[in-house]
A = this chain, B = another copy of it.
Amino acid sequence: MHNITSQVANVVTKSRIKAGTVHIFNVGSTACVGTIEYEEGLEADLPALFDRLIPPSREYGHEEAWHDGNGHSHLQATLMGPSLTVPVTDGKLPLGTWQQIFHLECDIKPHRREIIVTVQGE
């Protein structure tokens, strides 16, 4: 899990857009994005929650077809979603003090990820 807030804020700054939205999108089906208070406790709690609700298992239909051990990764990423939109006001991200943008890898092995950030407005 990574805190990508400052990277997103940098894209917004470089776009020179002052009012609008910024859209963050994870390319691929086994990772997700969202907002969270980014601190060590929740950094452990969120993946643990996903593994409790949607546990690693060989009993998914995806497993029976593909045998790659990441059926739960797909379902976790789909439930959380690959897409987040945040407003841009005064050229900044008006996030709460304890609200950051995270990217969470749900797959069972590391991936190099592409995240597309689109700023729209004026």
Contact = CB atoms under 8 A, between A and B. Distances in A.
By secondary structure, the A interface counts as mixed
A111 B91 CA distance: 26
Contacts of A37: 29, 62, 74
A23 to B, nearest CB: 5
A69 interface: no
Q: How large is the interface on A (under 10, 10 to 19, 20 to 34, 35 or more residues)?
A: 35 or more
19 contacts: A20-B118, A21-B118, A23-B85, A27-B99, A29-B96, A39-B62, A41-B60, A41-B63, A41-B65, A41-B66, A42-B71, A42-B78, A44-B61, A45-B71, A45-B75, A82-B99, A83-B86, A87-B116, A120-B120
